[in-house]
Structure formats: structure tokens, C-alpha cells
A and B are shown apart, each in its own frame.
Chain A
Amino acid sequence: MPVSWPLVGRREELEFIEDALGRPDQGGVVLAGEAGVGKTRLAREATSLADSKGISTAWAAATQSGRTVPFGALAPLLPPALPLSFTQEDVIRSAARAISERFDGRPLIAIDDAHLLDDHSAVLLHHLAQTSDAFVLAAIRSGEPAPDPITALWKDDLCERLEIQALSESDARDLLEAALDGQVDGGTFQRLWAETRGNPLYLREMVLGGLSSGRVVKSHGVWRWDGNLAQSPRLHEMIATRLGDRSAEEKALLETLAAGEPLGVATLENISSRATLGSLEEAGLVIEDLDGRRAVARLAHPLYGEALRAGTSPARLRTTLGALAEDLEASGVRRREDTLRLATWSLESGRETRDEILVAAGGQALGLLDFPLAERLAGGCSDQGMPAGFILAQALMGQGRSEEAESAFARMADSTTSETELLMVTTARAYNLGWTFGELDKAVGVLDEARPLLKDPVMENELLAARAYFLFSFGKPMEAIAAGREIIEFPDPTPRAVASVMGAVGQGLQFTARPLESMELWNRFEAPALEGIKSTPMAPVGPTVIPYWGHYLAGRFEEAAAVAERSYLEALESQAEWVSGFLGCLVGIARRTQGRLGEALRYLREGTARVRRTDVLGQLPVFLGELAQALAADGDVAGAEEALAQSKERRGMVAQRFIDFHVLLGEVTIAVAKGEVSRARQVAAETAEEMRRGDGYAHEALLLHEVARLGDPAAGLERLAWISERSDGALFSALYRNARAMASSDAAELEQVSRDFEEMGALLYAAEAAAEASNAYRSAGRTASAHAAAERTRALMARCENVERVSPVLAAFATPLPLTSREREVASFAARGLSNREIASRLFLSPRTVGNHLHSAYSKLGIEGREQLRAILEPAESPTSSEGTAAPDV
């Protein structure tokens, strides 16, 4: 694809140059910066800007080869022959005069790579700046020696020297998304950022290389980098130039650093010499730093390492890594990271390593969520029994390779030698079976089979805790809460038992509409719970899930989003992309609820794209259902239907009842967006009933509230009252009061509920309640109050994005029509070109009834056909009105 790279993040630099250009006493500006930082591009833009202001401009570039030719770089600006002169001053004055005569007014003369200028050109430029005969715009590379007259430009105060820095993180992201013309996956950006550090040329070369090799791909609307980052040959050449011709000793040292940086200076001095290290440091290729009290050296830019590694033969790399491993083992494994380094260097160099080192390193890799590395390390052990086999099985599970993991777990089950080992293997295996295969019976069966073998009550308690978690996971939260409460009161439960109970009771309480109680429990047991999930695939999302849903279900949506967003940003640093995907989706869900649709879509698109690749916790159907809701609200009904279909397809893989909530809410929202409000109501009511059967009161209440806001507030009042009564937190009470006030047209209560929703940040619900209040006031003849409530509705709607598409109440508010909800529903379909028969089939009515509704609608609107109907409905072509939400008199 053709990619154009706009100038991003240089507005202030351009203004700086423009300001200097406007001052007649200013000789010019010197742009200094490292290779690829964008000096040339900035100088080009500034030159164009001057052109557009009617200033004469000239462009020249100095080169290494032209350096020996007098006026080599500026020759194109000079006449073929200069008047005969006897001193260099005369020559320069003649050349300057020739330039002055060539242009009208004071020209801007831009010189690229001015540090490579020949002496004559350099002196001429200095003269032009000094006499203000021209405005000099010179680009030089930092750290390179420049001719004295060029250095004197800023030393003598003739020009200002402006250091051009790499782009900031946000500018680099903007540049990338502008160039690719689309959203870029957060993890992909983080990897590119880590490699390029905002250097636009490096970024450009990497992305162009990735596009041409097919590694940069657009998947589900989001650009991402597939596989390892690899540089393009062009970038290698560019960096090879930067690395220059180095001595064999310097090259060997650079290669060693590329293989194992950062390395202790002492290690490098064993391999090379202090002088070699010093010369590389002087050349800006290596930097020295302090790691605690130890002096370490690293390459000055990450890309140097990539380029050096790409240019090193595999055999040479193996030799280097083998030597590093020898050195490390000889000097002693002292730091925690030394184990991992020794193991990986040994593996990669083919050097024999003790199982003990590989197991220790494999455990560390699991803790760092680098599952492929953990697999390699554990797989490299000569003994595949405990503990190497267990690390391997978990590493496979972490990569979503659950069938292979199950085989590994099954093998381990027979080779455990203690109750602790048996418990570890059994619970991990049950998680794999339950979560990934969705087979509760098998998972619980594995646990029940192991229970009689555990004689230690602490171990048994831990196993029962895991069992309780499965009960919750598969839709039995009340049973899970009861079982979990007993377990947690056991004296000194193990961290793993606490972690399982947190899953069972903590989430169970949330699902049964007790979010605040769940958070109290979490606050009490957070530390042991986190300890209990350490080194498991749950570890990265565990700290977020309960606080997130606790806040969310208590109606504290901003806090929920903030909790997930913080974890998301941390997770982007991690290798496991499903983690940031998972957490990003949580942010998206909260943002959608808040009415911040643009942000919601961004997070959900990126998150689902990441979780699609590895769905360790089986939550993809949830996130796709949420994405469907956001897409429908954004008007992309086709996209929403596709996401919903994919969500339903995967739903069968995980037997969690509550996943249906998110999936079917997607169906409800799509139906609303398509104008099929009756069907939406029906799906919401049926799903609410399903939730009730599984004790999922929180979800039941949310769905019954959907039924209410879609036009039938009385239907779920009794259940909403019951749930509100048993719940804690502000949300469930507000849902009930809203439905009750809608059912009784209680305008004052609707206004109050609207304010409560607004305080929670649920702006869609707040706007709807305000619109309902306006209608109720109008029906009661209180016109002034109706006006005030309508004004408030408009203000709330303005703070949301496109919410009227999925809100019949707000759609009716935006296009007030004197129709009943049924008439509006029928009219909406007719305006879209459906025949009476087609409408009848969609709404389960007879064609005659459809005809009657349509006739009545025409009569009320004073029109005669579908064309006119379309003209009226088009501005708010969206869902139909509900009864009791007729046009406000404003």
C-alpha cells in the first residue's frame, strides 16, 4: 500500500524557524540532531513555508564525496565563473554578491548535512549569515565534527542552534496512525516505540519493511505487527553506515553487546579492552550506565543491536553466547536475572546445562509471562517429570495450547510424589479443562478424584476452594458463595485457597448484586489472593478483575475504567498480548457504558483483536458481544452483526452462563439499532429470566432495566425491587427507581434518577431519564419544568456520542412525532422500504394490522406515502419510540 508520512509533532519547531525568519537581524537557524530524527524533513517544510510567504528559497545538500571540491555543495547557486580574486575574502565576497544578485530580497538558503560542507561553502554560509544577506537554515548531525565556520554560526551568535529531538510517544503514535491511516494495536506500537524511541526514520523504515514483508497487517480494523520485529534491509544499510568501519576488536565487542546487552564492564574487559570500550563510547555507539553499584555497558540505540545481530552468522552468535555463559557461570550466578540469562545463553549456544538451572529459569519465565521461553527452558530439561513437566504444561496452557497442556498434565498426574505436587497438578489441570474446554463435569471430576488422596486438611481445603471457584464459573454463584465462606474461615488458608475463594465468593457476590461486599472481601484478602495466583495465567488480570467489576456494578464507571486502564498500560510492556487485550476490553466496556463511544470502540477493537489470537481465559465471546454493542451504537450494524455471530460461535466453547449476558446484550443492542425494538425487548426479557435461573441477579437487573428503557417499565418491576433490596452500591437501586418512575410517570423521581446516573457517569441512562422526566412533566401540564428537563436532556446528549441510535427514548426526543410506539416502529420499517407483509413478519403482526398502524401514522403526520415518511424519519433514522415518550412540547 502507498504510505505517506505527514509531518507530526513539529509545529513548535516550525514556528521557531518562522519567528527567526521574520527577524532581519537573525542570520538563520541551525538544526542539530541525530540521524533520522527528521532535520531534513523539517528544513524542507520550513523552506516550503517560506516559499508560500513569497520568500526566495534555495536548497543544497553537502556530501562526503563533495567535501574536497571548493563550493562543492553551493555550486548550483553560483555562476559558472566567479570574478578573478586574489584572496579567499575576495572569493567569498564575490560569491556572496552573486547570490544576492540571483534572488529578489533576502533569500532562505537551506543546507542539508552542513557538517559535511567543504571549507569554501562553509565560509560563504557564515558570511551570508553574518551580513544578513541570506537566512541560513543548516541541518547538521549531532556528535559529528563540523567545519569551524559552521560551528561559529551558533558560537558567534549569528544563528540559533535548535536541537531536534525524537518525537514524543504520543506524537510517534499519531504519526504511525496517520501514515497507516488507521488504528494501531497498542502492543504493536509499544514494541515499535521501544525499538525506535520516536526516531521517525527508524519508525518509517521498520514499518515499510514490515509492510513489504507482510508482517504489518490490518486485522479486524487494527494494524498490528505479526511475529517478531524485523528490520528492513534498507534500515540495516542505514545503521551499517552509522556503525561505520570499526576495527576487528571493536566489531567483536559490539557483537558481544548485541548478543547479551547489558553486560558488566568487567565482563567486557575480560573479552576486550578498556580502550576499545572507550573508543566505542566516544563514537556514541555504546553507553555506560550504573546498575546498582555495577558498571554496565549497552548499545546506544536498540536498533544497533538488531542490525548487528542480523549481520552476525548463527555459528558466531552461538560462540559468543557460549563464551558469555562460561564467563557468567565462572564468575557466579549472583543476581536473580543471572539464572535466566545463563539458561537462555546456554540453550542458544548449545552448551550443556543442568536441569536445576533450566527449571529455575523456566519458573522465572512463567512469572514473567514469557510462556514460549518457559516452554523452551522446561522442554530443554533431561527429566520431564516434576517439576519441569509442570512448568511445561503451564507454559502450554498460557499459550492457549490447551490440548497439549492436558496431555502434559495427564502425564504428570501419575508422576507426582507428594500431596503438594498432586494438588498443584490437579488444580491446574482442572482449570485447563474447565476454562478452555468448558467442561465443568470433567474439571470437577478431576478434583473429586484427587480429594481422597489428600490426607493433609490444608491441602484438602485448597482443593475444595478450587472446586468452589468452578461452581461460580459455571453459573452457581450462590452455591459457590456458601462453599467459599466456609473455606475462608479455615485457620490459615493457603494463598492458593484464598485466591480460589476470591474467585468464587468475590465474583459470586458481584454477580448476585453485592459489589461493595465483594470489594470489602477483596480489600481483606488481596495480598494472599495475589500470592496465590502468582506464576499462573491468571496472575496478570487477577489484580484487576474484582476491583473493576466491583466499581462497575456499584455504578462507579470512571473508577472501573481507571483501574483497568492502569493495568492495561502496564500490561502493554508484557509479552503476553492477550493480557493487554483482556484489560483493554474492560476499559472499553466501562467507556461504552459512560457513553464515550469513540474510546470504547478503540479499546474493544484492539482488545478483541489481541484476545482472538490467544484466549487463555475463554472471555472472547464476552468481548465480542461488547464490541457488537459498541459497533451498533456507532451505526455499523453490519460490523456489529459480524462480531455478534463470531461471539455466538465461540460461546459454545465455554459453558459459563454469564457469558450469555454480554453476548445477548449485543443482540439486544443490534435489534434496537435496526429498529426492531419489540424483538430487542423480548430477547432482553428472555435473557433476564435465564440470568435469574443462574442466580445472576446483577445481570438480571441490568437486562430488566433494558426491558424498561425499551418501553415496558412495568414488566420487571417486582424482580427489580427484590434485587434492589438485596443489593449494595448505587446502581441497582437507581435501575429499580428508574423503571418504577417510568412506569408511574413520576417526573420528579425521574429527574432525581437522571442526576444519580449522571453522578455515576452513565450519561446515556441519565439523558434518557431526563427525557422521560420532560415527557412526564409535559403530560402533567407543567410546561416550564418540561422545558427545563428537555434542556437538561440536550446537554447530557451532547456529552455522549451517537447514543440516540440505540436509545428509542432519545431518538424520539431528537425527532418528536405524535405517534404511539407501535406506529413509530411500523413507520420506521416502512420508511426503510419494507412492504407491509415484511413488516408484519418481523413484528409478528398480521399485514392488515400493519396497514392500520401505517394508515393511522400517515393521518397523524398529514402525509400520504412512504416517500414522505422517509423524509420525516430520515434525520433520526434509528430506533422507534416507546409508549409514554411522545413528543415533548419544546
Chain B
Amino acid sequence: MAEDPRLDGLPEAHALALRLTEEGVDEEGIATRLGIPVEAVAPLVRLATAKASRVPLEELDPIEEDTS
């Protein structure tokens, strides 16, 4: 999977949750990896998605962007 440079600007748990979701890991798997209750996974992923969509493009490293 290509690394999304937007994830670099997120807190670690948010980035990891999005990466695992992208990889198709189910909620239980994500909960285990993050050490959180399974019920907290969906809200966390929603929040992480909202944060990722807010990372302005100009903050991204142009070099990484070109090579991603």
C-alpha cells in the first residue's frame, strides 16, 4: 500500500487506525492493536478520517508527494 503523506501529520494512533482500516483489518483486530475497546474503534476511525481530510496540502512535503 502506498504511504499516504497525510497520515504523517496525525497522532500515531489515528494514523495506525487508518492504515489498518485500509489494510482491511476488522474492528476487533484494530482494537487489539490499539489497546482500546472494540466499541471505540468506529468513533476513532471517524475522527481520524476527519483529521486526515483537514491536513492542508501545502503542509505536505513536496518531495514525498512526488515520490509517493
Complex Cα–Cα for A12 and B34 (A): 20
Task: Decide: A12 and B54 in contact? CB cutoff 8 A.
Answer: yes
Does A163 reach chain B (CB closer than 8 Å)? Answer: yes
Assuming A154-B37, A162-B47, is B54 touching A11 (CB within 8 A)?
yes
CB neighbours (8 Å) of B51 from chain A are 12
Instruction: Kindly report which residue of chain A lies nearest to residue B46, judged by CB atoms.
Output: A16
Task: Decide: A163 and B50 in contact? CB cutoff 8 A.
Answer: no
Q: Mark B42-58, 1 if CB is under 8 A from A, else 0.
A: 01101100110010000
Complex Cα–Cα for A13 and B14 (A): 12
CB neighbours (8 Å) of A12 from chain B are 47, 50-51, 54
CB neighbours (8 Å) of B25 from chain A are none
Count residues on chain A whose CB falls below 8 Å from chain B CBs. Answer: 22
Instruction: Give the Cβ gap from A771 to chain B, nearest Cβ, in Å.
Output: 27
Assuming A13-B47, A16-B47, A170-B59, is B54 touching A163 (CB within 8 A)?
no
Does B10 reach chain A (CB closer than 8 Å)? Answer: yes
Task: Decide: B47 and A161 in contact? CB cutoff 8 A.
Answer: no
Does B39 reach chain A (CB closer than 8 Å)? Answer: yes
Complex Cα–Cα for A166 and B51 (A): 14
Does A160 reach chain B (CB closer than 8 Å)? Answer: yes
Complex Cα–Cα for A142 and B47 (A): 18
Assuming A170-B59, A562-B63, is B12 touching A163 (CB within 8 A)?
no
CB neighbours (8 Å) of A198 from chain B are 11
Does B5 reach chain A (CB closer than 8 Å)? Answer: no
CB neighbours (8 Å) of A16 from chain B are 43, 46-47, 50
Assuming A12-B54, A161-B37, A562-B63, is B43 touching A168 (CB within 8 A)?
no
CB neighbours (8 Å) of A168 from chain B are 9-11
Does A165 reach chain B (CB closer than 8 Å)? Answer: yes
CB neighbours (8 Å) of A640 from chain B are none
Instruction: Give the Cβ gap from A397 to chain B, nearest Cβ, in Å.
Output: 34
Assuming A13-B47, A16-B50, is B36 touching A163 (CB within 8 A)?
yes
CB neighbours (8 Å) of A396 from chain B are none
Cβ < 8 Å to B, chain A residues 143-195: 154-155, 157, 160-163, 165-170
Task: Decide: A32 and B40 in contact? CB cutoff 8 A.
Answer: yes
CB neighbours (8 Å) of A161 from chain B are 37, 39-40, 43
Task: Decide: A162 and B40 in contact? CB cutoff 8 A.
Answer: yes
Task: Decide: A154 and B11 in contact? CB cutoff 8 A.
Answer: no
Instruction: Kindly report which residue of chain B lies nearest to residue A169, judged by CB atoms.
Output: B9
Instruction: Kindly report which residue of chain B lies nearest to residue A151, judged by CB atoms.
Output: B37
Assuming A16-B46, A16-B47, is B12 touching A165 (CB within 8 A)?
yes
CB neighbours (8 Å) of A562 from chain B are 63
CB neighbours (8 Å) of B40 from chain A are 32, 154, 161-163
CB neighbours (8 Å) of A327 from chain B are none
CB neighbours (8 Å) of B63 from chain A are 562
CB neighbours (8 Å) of B44 from chain A are 162-163
Instruction: Kindly report which residue of chain B lies nearest to residue A284, judged by CB atoms.
Output: B35
Instruction: Give the Cβ gap from B19 to chain A, nearest Cβ, in Å.
Output: 15
CB neighbours (8 Å) of B46 from chain A are 16
Partner of B9, one of A160, A163, A166, A170: A170
Q: Mark A551-580, 1 if CB is under 8 A from B, else 0.
A: 000000000001000000000000000000
CB neighbours (8 Å) of B12 from chain A are 165
Complex Cα–Cα for A305 and B66 (A): 41
Does A448 reach chain B (CB closer than 8 Å)? Answer: no
Complex Cα–Cα for A160 and B36 (A): 13
CB neighbours (8 Å) of A90 from chain B are none
B residues whose Cβ falls under 8 Å from a Cβ of A? 9-14, 34, 36-37, 39-40, 43-44, 46-47, 50-51, 54, 59, 63
**27 A/B residue pairs, CB under 8 Å, sorted by A:** A11-B54, A16-B46, A16-B50, A32-B36, A32-B40, A142-B36, A154-B40, A155-B37, A155-B39, A157-B39, A160-B43, A161-B39, A162-B40, A162-B43, A162-B44, A163-B13, A163-B43, A163-B44, A165-B11, A165-B14, A167-B11, A168-B9, A168-B10, A168-B11, A169-B9, A198-B11, A562-B63
Q: A13-B47, A16-B50 are in contact. List 17 more A-B contacts (CB 8 A).
A: A15-B50, A16-B43, A32-B40, A142-B36, A155-B37, A162-B44, A162-B47, A163-B13, A163-B34, A163-B43, A165-B11, A165-B12, A168-B11, A169-B9, A170-B9, A198-B11, A562-B63
Q: Which 9 A-B pairs have the closest CB atoms?
A: A165-B11, A161-B40, A12-B50, A160-B43, A154-B39, A168-B11, A165-B13, A12-B51, A162-B43
